[in-house]
Amino acid sequence: MSVCFLFPPSLATEVSKENCSYLNPLVNTMVNSNYTKGIQSANILLTLRLVGIQNQRLEQQLTQQIQEDTNRRESEITSGELALVILALGACKNLDEEFIRDAHLVSKLGEKFKAEIENMETHSGNPLTNYYQLSLALLTLCLSDGSYSVTNVIPYFTPENKNYYFGGQFSVDTGAMAVLALTCVKRSIEKEKIEADKKDLNKTNVYITSLVNKILSAKHDGLFGNIFSTGESMQALFVSSNYYKNEGNCQETLHTVLYNISQGAFHLPIAAAQILPALMGKTYLDVNKDCSSVCSPVKFNISTDKPVTVTPIISPSYISVNYSVQINETFNSTKVTVRKGSVFLDVMKAAQKQNEAAFRFKMEDSPWGPYIISVQDIRANNNDRTYWELLSNGQPLSQGAGSYVVKNGEYLEVRWSKY
């Protein structure tokens, strides 16, 4: 197997302290952000535990918020969110398992999973959420011995299923999560922990191989998909290492990721949480083990001070950008002036101020920042696979409206699209 770890398990005890410091920015981002949305921080708690970062105060705070939110939002919580809650609370053999049991979270997840599949049956194959979440749900049911029928479920995960693709492009994040889920199922079948026949095992193996190949073909400059899908892709490749032989140049991946860390690419806590496990040689399939870390607790240099933000004394400079809303053949365009350093969302707000009728929009919070749900009251809908796509100079962005920093003279666009 090729070594993609920053800390290969066999060398774990000899690893030099310095390697931990590369990961400090990620750890600090996760530790220092303000967590107000309980369920959204399940991903962060999961990673903190999985990689063995012990910070009791933070763990307690996150656990409490997650539990409160789970109780409060029970009916509206999605399958993937509930899966993350179970993974986070149950990770690494700790006392929160009691909450999972008392609140019957695993059987509730089973019901959410069923509802996703029922929605596919009644809405031309479209789940309530998406296949990333369905995969998370299957992974969690598998890891926590929930009930699901292998024979019924596996066919939905054929790599030909349209839900792996957005706009005809393979979603590497989705594929990676599916590989993790299917690998868990495969191992359960092999250990006879779950009922299945030989055909099911064969299918599972074929699907894993094909999905892994799709992930490998999405490799550019060391990254699988883009920088934000690389961590979970690495996890998928770790667990399926006998499916790919001599897949060269993991060093290139590591180098590119470390460079991106130094450039602040993972400034969102969720982004940090999704890349860190892989860098420490962990995968979501490890959640039932005892978790420990080569870097923890002393070798991580966790600072609880807020990072210093330098406020320039000079008066702000302004840039102007072009902004348009496209609905089918119809364009509404304008030019707006915003402060240098503004993000896409600032441009949308400025345009809305100029012309409410053409540019009004609504957004929702997501773990990745604001998600644009409607423009001119036209609303994204999973049953129709419609959404508002963000573009710059005609190219889709790989960051959301709250993160993408706009440049002078750029052509920005939100386009009514189908995925």
CB of 136 to ligand CBY, least distance (A): 7
Footprint of ligand CBY on residues 164-203 (CB under 6 A)? 166, 171, 173-174
372 has binding-site annotation: yes
Per-residue binding string, ligand CBY, 200-239, x by CB under 6 A, is -------------------------xx-xx----------
Residue 9: Cβ within 10 Å count: 12
Answer yes or no whether residue 129 interacts with ligand CBY by CB under 6 A.
Answer: yes
| Interaction residues for ligand CBY, span 290-319 (CB under 6 A) | none
Determine whether the annotation assigns residue 226 to a binding site. yes
381 has which bridge partners? 386
Instruction: Kindly tell me which residue out of 52, 175, 281, 367 binds ligand CBY, with binding defined by CB under 6 A.
Output: 367
- Output 36 or 398, the one with its CB closest to ligand CBY: 398
Using CB under 6 A as the binding rule, whether residue 399 contacts ligand CBY is answered as: yes
Contact call for residue 403 and ligand CBY (CB under 6 A) = yes
User: Which residue lies nearer to ligand CBY by CB, 196 or 401?
Assistant: 401
Judge whether 322 is annotated as a binding position: no
Q: State which residue, 77 or 189, has the beta carbon closest to ligand CBY.
A: 77
Q: For ligand CBY, what does the binding mask look like between residues 79 and 118, x meaning CB under 6 A?
A: -xx--x----------------------------------
Burial status of residue 33 (CB atoms within 10 A of its CB: 0-12, 13-18, 19 or more): middle
Rounded CA separation 299/283 (Å): 21
The answer on whether 371 is annotated among ligand-binding residues is yes
- Shortest Å, Cβ 362 to ligand CBY: 10
Choosing from 7, 148, 323, 387, the residue that interacts with ligand CBY (CB under 6 A) is: 387
Distance of closest approach, residue 14 Cβ to ligand CBY, in angstroms: 33
26 marked as part of a ligand binding site:
no
Nearest 5°: phi and psi at 56? -55, -45
- Nearer to ligand CBY (CB atom), residue 203 or residue 282: 282
CB of 42 to ligand CBY, least distance (A): 8
129 among annotated binding-site residues: yes
Contact flag: residue 44 with ligand CBY (CB under 6 A): no
Q: Is 397 among the annotated ligand-binding positions?
A: yes
Number of residues engaging ligand CBY in binding (CB under 6 A): 34
**Which residues are known binding-site members?**
129-133, 173, 226, 274, 371-372, 388-390, 397, 419
**Which residues are known binding-site members for cyanocob(III)alamin?**
129-133, 173, 226, 274, 371-372, 388-390, 397, 419
| Contacts to ligand CBY by CB under 6 A | 80-81, 84, 129-130, 132-133, 166, 171, 173-174, 225-226, 228-229, 271, 274, 367-368, 371-372, 382, 387-390, 396-401, 403, 419
